């Protein structure tokens, strides 16, 4: 055993926060966003500051594809301000994060 528990819950969480990194900004924003939407969630996407334009273009594509208004929101800004507020918001029910171990653990521990 690796000492790690892993499980899947196959039901919508509600609002999912997606914090994507500067490297591979489209792949690591689009994949989790589409997966969250496909499983019945709404999304708040917080890209890295350097990936903001890609995230805004992803938003445009999703709207053009017919995703309902209000199902996806994009918040841009520094992680230490916008990301922290997103992580601490009681209305966000789940997260996906790609980035440093330290930040990931701070999100995990709340």
pLDDT digits (tens, 9 = 90+) for 12-43: 999 999 999 999 889 999 999 999 999 999 99
Task: Say whether pLDDT at 110 is over 80.
Answer: no
Provide the pLDDT confidence category of residue 1 given band limits of 50, 70 and 90: low
Task: Say whether pLDDT at 103 is over 70.
Answer: yes
Which class for 100: exposed (0-12), middle (13-18), buried (19 or more C-beta within 10 A)? exposed
């Amino acid at each position: 055993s690796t000492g790690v528990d892993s499980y899947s819950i196959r039901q919508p969480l509600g609002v999912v926060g997606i914090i994507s990194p500067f490297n591979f900004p489209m792949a690591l924003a689009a994949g989790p966003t589409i997966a969250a939407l496909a499983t019945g969630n709404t999304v708040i996407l917080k890209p890295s500051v350097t990936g903001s334009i890609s995230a805004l273009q992803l938003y445009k594509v999703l709207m053009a594809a017919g995703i309902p208004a209000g199902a996806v929101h994009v918040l841009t800004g520094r992680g230490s301000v916008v990301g922290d507020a997103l992580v601490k918001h009681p209305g966000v029910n789940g997260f996906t994060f790609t980035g440093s171990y330290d930040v990931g653990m701070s999100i995990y521990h709340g």
